Amino acid sequence: EYLLNAQGEDVVAGTRTPQPITNAQKTDSSMVSLEGVGKTHVSCDVIARATAGIPWPNTPDIRNPRGDVILYNREEHLAKTIVPRLAAMGADLSRIHLVQTVKSTDAEDSMFELEYNMPELDLLMGRFPKTKLVCFDPITQYVAGNENSNHDIQRALDKLNAFAERYNVAVLILSHFNKKEDARYINRTIGSRAWSAGPRMIWGLEFDPNSEENDVYMSNIKCSIGVKPKGFRFHISGPTGQGKVHWDISRNTRVMGESAEKATKMEECCRWLKEKLIDDAKVPATEIFEDGDDMEFNPIMLKRAKKELDVISIKEGFGKDGVSYWQNPIIQTVSEREI
């Protein structure tokens, strides 16, 4: 026997039995925030989508390929919190394998540690070969070394990266921000700098200070595997501890750490540009910058809004006589279909 493991459906039934146990695949992603913002809720939402084939919020018409998930969680009660939350989000509980401790034949149960217990995780992959996601919440509970040591943390994360590559799975690790509000967000993970240097993708969560519904911004802090993705916005509703995540993918124009006033101005710029392009197939870029200046939107803000709204740039003519336009992507899509 190697690991104490429970499937989600077993926890619901109260029958936990000790037993052995694309795209972000082949890579590790990190999600960080202050405590109580919603990291575990979001991880449960991701797990539900991975196990039940539920589409991602930004691709609602594309079903996910279903797979198993191995979940390490040390901060929440499995039966009282984690499993009811997963069930509320529509997860396939039979595909979720909850790991608590390492068990050997000649010793007491002990904590799983990345530096020493990866062979046990290999055994789990052999038992559940359809696994496509492994989640650690929080990752700091599963590292034996000094969390402030770059060497110790990088050594542990290297093992996790190699594991993801070996099995073609995604790895999601959760961690906390430190209290240094004057630091860049890429440097605000608790402990060693390696916590932010190691993962290929990092998402940061923070409350919207202007929201009456406790909306949360989910913004990309780091992406080294492709084009930096857009952010999201969500709120959590439902019974305490078991609420569902409700996504609004069209509303996050915020950059992590920017002031509420600046974020509000950026949202206003996005709304203005969207309305500017709603009736016209295309608008000269010079007109947009001139009219935007009248609204006190600087060129940087306008270009950010353009990116957030997927506005398309086109050019007609050549050389000095050429004119650049910004075009509503929806109008272009309709035109292409008509053709």
Same-domain pairing of 165 and 225: yes
Number of neighbouring beta carbons within 10 Å of residue 69: 28
pLDDT of residue 209: 75
Range of the domain at 312: 260-338
Q: What is the DSSP string of 290-307?
A: HHHHHTT--HHHHHHHHH
Is the same domain home to 149 and 204?
A: yes
Instruction: State percent of the chain over pLDDT 70.
Output: 77
Average pLDDT value for residue range 252-265: 58
State residue 167's pLDDT score. 94
CB 214 within 8 A of CB 235: yes
* pTM (two decimals): 0.68
Q: Does residue 106 have a pLDDT over 90?
A: no
**Average pLDDT across the chain, whole number:** 80
Residue 1 pLDDT: 36
**Residues 299, 154 within the same domain:** no
Q: What is the mean pLDDT of residues 146-165?
A: 87
Looking at the predicted structure, is the pLDDT value of residue 3 above 90? no
Q: Is residue 253 part of a domain?
A: no
**Does one domain contain both 211 and 316?**
no
Boundary residue ending a domain (221, 247, 273):
247
pLDDT band at residue 103 using 50, 70 and 90 as cut-offs: low
Q: Indicate whether 14 and 88 sit together in one domain.
A: yes
Residues 163, 70, single domain; the answer is yes
Residue bearing the bigger pLDDT, 241 or 88 = 88
Residue 296 is predicted with a pLDDT of 83
Token output for 66: 């279903």
d(CA 324, CA 240): 52
Query: Does residue 156 register a pLDDT over 80?
Result: yes
In this prediction, residues 261-273 reach a mean pLDDT of: 77
For the cut 60, the answer to whether the pLDDT of residue 332 exceeds it is: no
**8 Å CB contact between 31 and 46:** no
Same domain, 177 and 242: yes
Q: Are strands 68-73 and 96-104 parallel, antiparallel or unpaired?
A: parallel
Confidence of residue 333 (pLDDT cuts 50, 70, 90): very low
**Residue whose C-alpha is closest to residue 51's, from 39, 61, 59, 43:** 43
Report the alpha-carbon distance of residue 37 to residue 214 in Å, rounded: 9
Residues 108 and 216 in one domain: yes
Helices (H) and strands (E) in the chain, counts: 10, 14
3-state secondary structure of 9: helix
Same domain, 239 and 265: no
Q: Report yes or no on 40 lying in a domain.
A: yes
Check residue 2 and give its pLDDT: 40
Cis peptide before 138 (omega within 30 of 0): yes
What confidence score (pLDDT) does residue 304 get? 85
Better-predicted residue by pLDDT, 17 or 34: 34
Same structural domain for residues 108 and 174? yes
Classify strands 216-223 and 232-237 as parallel, antiparallel or unpaired. antiparallel
Total domains in the chain come to 2
Residue 21 reports pLDDT greater than 50: no
The pLDDT value given to residue 4: 43
pLDDT of residue 35: 82
Averaged pLDDT for residues 135-159? 87
pLDDT confidence tier of residue 241, bands split at 50, 70 and 90: low
For residues 204 and 226, which has the higher predicted lDDT (pLDDT)? 204
Torsion of CA 197, 200, 206, 211, to 10 degrees: 150
Question: Per residue in 40-93, pLDDT tens?
Answer: 999 999 999 999 999 998 888 888 889 999 999 887 888 888 999 999 999 999
Mean pLDDT, rounded, for 265-288: 83
215: left (phi over 0), alpha (psi -120 to 50) or beta: beta
Task: Give the pLDDT of residue 87.
Answer: 93
Query: What pLDDT was estimated at residue 22?
Result: 46
Residue 276: is its pLDDT beyond 80? Answer: yes
| Predicted local confidence at residue 135, as pLDDT | 96
Asked whether residue 115 is assigned to any structural domain, the reply reads yes
Residue 221's CATH number: 3.40.50.300
pLDDT at 251 over 70: no
* Rounded distance between C-alpha atoms, residue 291 and residue 294, angstroms: 5
Note whether 95 and 201 are same-domain residues. Answer: yes
Q: Are 220 and 282 within one domain?
A: no
